Structures are given as C-alpha cells and as structure tokens.
C-alpha cells in the first residue's frame, strides 16, 4: 500500500511486436491509470524489438540518489505486501556501500560450477548474496548509475564480462554463439558486482512464500506456459519475518554457502 505522501510513477515499456497481442497490450497500457494524485503513467513504444539487455539498461536512469525504482517484467505477479516491505528495506539498508540492489524474488540457485538449485534459508531473515535478482529487482540508484556508466564507456559488443567459475559466464558465451548476445543483461551486472564487491538483498520466507512470483509464460525464458506460478504469494496474513530488518546482515558468496563475515 502506498503511504500517504508517496507517489509512484509507472512506466510501461512495450517492445515491438505485431498482430492482436501487440494491439491489445498497447490498448491496455494506454488506458491504464493510477489512483488520482498517486503518480503518472507513461507508455514507451519501441519501433523494433531491441532485446532484454536494452530493455533493462534503458528502463531507468536515476535523476538523483533519493529516487528508487523496481523493474517488473510482464509475467510477474506482486504480493500486496511488496511496497511496504521494499520501502522499509531501502530505509534500513540504502546507506550500505556494498548493496547493488534489492530483489523481490526468491533466491533459489547457486551459480558457482557445478551449479544447482539451492535456497539460502537464513532463518527467513534478509541476507546478502552475490547474484543479482532478475525478477522484481530494485537497483541501488548509485550502484546502478555506476554500472551503466561503465557499460556504455566500454566496447560492450566485444568485451567479455567473464567471471571464472560461474555458470552465468558460460550462458553468455552460449548466447554469443546463438547470435543472441543482446538477449541477456545479467552477466554484465554480475561482472560489475564481482569487481566491486557488491551484493543483492534477498529474503527467503518460510513455506516458500514470496513477495513476487513468476508465471513463466512462454517467451524468451520458457518455450511453454505451465499456467501456474513458481511460488505462492504472500497474501492475507503477513509473515512475522517481513517485519525483521536486522542491522547486521549475513553475506553469502557465489557458492551460496560460504558465509562472508
């Protein structure tokens, strides 16, 4: 729920497509409104498909360090509790120089090879993990600006943001061979975070409840639609863990098990 003085500017970015899905999405976006006095809705229409990397990197440029954003892709669903938790998380941890951003999604995998699914439980409390959250990510305005400035200052069409030992580095190389380099952005953020010692804040709630889930619709990430989300949303009752914002956070390295003190 928005606080009394809060305003939310909503930007809807529509990548170029064709046919009735595109027309229906465009119609819905252009007719969408926020409650009076709560903020503005702006629709951006792109003349041609530009891929996920441009979609993410062009989605937000902070105007100042007091501005925050959360980037939501089109097959994600938010819990009613997401905003109040995210705002309190930023109030609690926004001062940290090692914070790359805050994820609304659940941490669910370990990316150091040999990679596998692995959840950091951490007693249900917030923690820091090296890997960026790609679903419902709220970047730190200073760290995000630094990352973008670095990315656009280099020859990013030829530079290899390789981080030894991580499966994500191999995934980018696979995309390169497939001619789909423009369809991934995460490895650039991973490289930057690794170089500068940055972490993403997560909270893995009990009973696998989440503030944001993914319906995994067919598209770039999946060939089929399972018609069910990956995790259950927090609804109705609020887990006590969502009220916990400890001053000292446990930090986990790329292997998701090594506690960095």
CA torsion, points 67, 68, 72, 77, in degrees to nearest 10?
A: -120
107 in the same domain as 177? yes
Q: Is the pTM of this model over 0.85?
A: yes
60 within domain boundaries: no
DSSP state of 133: P
Angstrom distance (rounded) from CA 14 to CA 260: 40
Angstrom distance (rounded) from CA 154 to CA 101: 23
Distances (CA, A) of 117 to 78, 111, 112, 125, 244: 23, 9, 11, 19, 26
58 within domain boundaries: no
43 in the same domain as 83? no
Which are the contacts of 247, defined by CB distance < 8 A and separation ≥ 6?
92
pLDDT tens-digit readout, 45-81: 988 888 899 999 999 999 999 999 999 998 999 999 9
179 in the same domain as 238? yes
Angstrom distance (rounded) from CA 221 to CA 247: 36
Count how many domains the chain has: 2
Which are the contacts of 162, defined by CB distance < 8 A and separation ≥ 6?
169, 172, 191
How confident is the prediction for the chain on average, in pLDDT?
92
Q: Which of 16-30, 196-210, 214-228 has the lowest mean pLDDT?
A: 214-228
90 in the same domain as 8? no
* Cα 185 off chain centre by: 11
91 in the same domain as 19? no
pLDDT tens-digit readout, 108-124: 999 999 999 999 999 99
87 in the same domain as 40? no
111 in the same domain as 33? no
Angstrom distance (rounded) from CA 169 to CA 172: 5
Question: For the residues 151-169, what does the mean pLDDT come to?
Answer: 97
13 in the same domain as 134? no
61 within domain boundaries: no
Kindly indicate the confidence band of residue 241, based on its pLDDT and cuts at 50, 70 and 90.
very high
156 within domain boundaries: yes
Question: For the residues 192-212, what does the mean pLDDT come to?
Answer: 97
Per this entry, what is the length of the chain?
A: 261
81 in the same domain as 194? yes
pLDDT of residue 220: 63
78 in the same domain as 8? no
Q: Which residue range forms the structural domain that includes residue 34? A: 1-49
pLDDT of residue 37: 84
Burial of 33 (0-12, 13-18, 19+ CB in 10 A): exposed
Residue owning tokens 């949303």: 233
Which are the contacts of 38, defined by CB distance < 8 A and separation ≥ 6?
2, 6, 7, 8
79 in the same domain as 4? no
Of 117 and 15, which is predicted with more confidence? 117
181 within domain boundaries: yes
118 within domain boundaries: yes
pLDDT of residue 207: 94
The per-residue b/e assignment along 91-130, b for 16 or more CB within 10 angstroms, e otherwise, is: ebbeeeebbbbbbbbbbbebbbeebeeeebebebebbbbb
Helix (H) or strand (E) holding 189: helix 186-196
Say whether pLDDT at 3 is over 60: no
59 within domain boundaries: no
Angstrom distance (rounded) from CA 138 to CA 117: 23
Q: Rounded to the nearest 5°, which phi and psi values hold at 180?
A: -120, 30
Which are the contacts of 221, defined by CB distance < 8 A and separation ≥ 6?
none
123 in the same domain as 4? no
Neighbouring C-beta atoms of residue 193, cutoff 10 Å? 22
């Amino acid at each position: 729920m928005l606080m009394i003085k809060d305003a939310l500017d909503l930007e809807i970015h529509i990548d170029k497509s064709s046919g009735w899905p595109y027309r229906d999405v465009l119609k819905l976006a252009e007719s969408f409104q926020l409650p009076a006095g709560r903020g503005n809705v702006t629709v951006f229409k792109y003349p041609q498909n530009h891929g996920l990397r441009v979609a993410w990197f062009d989605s937000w440029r902070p105007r100042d360090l007091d501005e925050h954003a959360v980037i939501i892709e089109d097959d994600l669903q938010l819990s009613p509790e997401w905003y109040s938790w995210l705002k309190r998380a930023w109030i609690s941890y926004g001062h940290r120089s090692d914070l790359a951003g805050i994820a609304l999604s659940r941490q669910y995998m370990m990316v150091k090879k040999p990679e596998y699914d692995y959840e950091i439980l951490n007693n249900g409390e917030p923690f820091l993990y090296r890997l960026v959250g790609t679903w419902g990510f709220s970047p730190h305005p200073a760290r995000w600006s630094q990352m973008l400035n670095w990315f656009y200052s280099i020859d990013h069409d030829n530079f290899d943001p390789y981080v030894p030992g991580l499966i994500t580095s191999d995934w980018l190389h696979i995309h390169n061979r497939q001619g789909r380099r423009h369809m991934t952005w995460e490895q650039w953020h991973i490289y930057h975070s690794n170089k500068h010692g940055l972490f993403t804040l997560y909270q893995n709630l009990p009973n696998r409840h989440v503030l944001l889930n993914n319906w995994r619709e067919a598209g770039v990430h999946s060939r089929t639609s399972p018609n069910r989300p990956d995790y259950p949303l927090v609804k109705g009752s609020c887990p006590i863990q969502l009220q916990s914002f400890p001053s000292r956070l446990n930090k986990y390295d790329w292997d998701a098990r090594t506690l960095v003190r």
